[in-house]
Amino acid sequence: MPAGPEKVVLHPLVLLSVVDHYSRVAKDTKKRVVGVLLGELYKGTVDVTNSFALPFEEDDHDPSIWFLDHSYLEQMYKMFKKVNAREKIVGWYSTGPKLREADLDINELIRQFCDHPVLVICEVQPKEVGLPFTAYHSVDEVRTDGTEKAKKVFNSLPTQVGQTEAEEIGVEHLLRDVKDATLSSLAGDVSSKLLALKGLQSRLAEISEYLGLVIDGKLPVNHDIINLVQEIFNLLPNMNVESLSKSLAVKSNDMMHVIYIASLVRSILALHKLIDNKEQRLWQEREAAKKEKEKAEEKAKKEKDSKEAKDGGSGKEGEAAKDGSSKGAEAIGKK
């Protein structure tokens, strides 16, 4: 019997398909959508490469009442198997956003098609920073005191996003329309660091809340979680070591030195650009004044030429009239 899943690797195509399914069926509602995950299980790693949607309905008032189309599932799986025989049913997805009462029953139904189905809950509208999906695997829980019978419960699994070379190229083309190309790489890095710090803060707050509930006796002590928390504290550096604090100080000073030099260079470039703009503006003003002066001189010259031409024309007309009158007088005298 093959070992159960230990890690889930989800491809971007699956996330896009889930979001498309939700947008077409349950957008702006409180309903969730359900579908089947296709992929491979190899050495404990579930590689989810594809998916398809399922007709699913459930009663809002009674979560135990739900409907899933088995015949549709079988027909779709046969068609997908003809396209790619390597992709097998490895589990199912839901848009949650959290686990519900009927999830164990649906998981047992999917178990008819695979031995170790995984449940991936995708949050189409995530409110926290981090991966927008979580993976679970059902196991038999047995109480050590023997007070209860064994029952199925969901255990969370580590998740990550994996992609092939072709998927990486496609995702980059899609993100070109999503990312703001006007932002510099520095602004993108700062925003990424800020998101990472917000995610770390939310995780630390979650750990603090859990430990507080354990101390108050509201939750039982889980030694696995306590061991993981202890590992986190063991990974923290000892800031009291002189060599570490000195190294951090030197690193910080080096980074500040680079930032200081960059600020000086930026200021010098800004001043240089300001001077260039001022010189260019003065040059443009001089050129404009020169053109205005040339236009004024040309206009004055034209006015002078036209005035001289007018004066010359009126003189010639006067002489012609004088000659005409003298000739008339001579003709009268002869008579």
According to DSSP, the β-strands at 45-54 and 56-58 are unpaired
Give helix 12-25 / helix 165-178 axis angle, nearest 10°: 50
Q: Average pLDDT for residues 290-294, to the nearest whole number?
A: 90
Could you state, in order of their start, the residue ranges of all structural domains in the chain? 7-179, 182-236
Residue-wise pLDDT tens digits, 61-98: 887 889 998 889 999 999 999 998 889 999 999 997 88
**What's the pLDDT at 324?**
58
pLDDT band at 124 (very low <50, low <70, confident <90, very high): confident
pLDDT over 80 (residue 331):
no
Q: What is the pTM of this model?
A: 0.59
Largest interatomic CA distance in the chain: 163
Closest CA to 94 of 31, 47, 146: 31
Which positions ≥6 away from 60 have C-beta within 8 Å?
30
- CATH fold group of domain 7-179: Cytidine Deaminase; domain 2 (3.40.140)
Phi, psi at 234, each rounded to 5°: -70, -30
Question: Rounded to 5 degrees, what angle do the CA atoms 31, 177, 33 make?
Answer: 15
Question: What is the Cα–Cα distance from 16 to 175, expressed in whole angstroms?
Answer: 12
The three-state secondary structure class of 9 is strand
Mean pLDDT for all residues in the chain: 83
Q: What are the tens digits of pLDDT across the range 239-274?
A: 788 888 888 889 999 999 999 999 999 999 999 999
Residue 180: per-residue pLDDT = 59
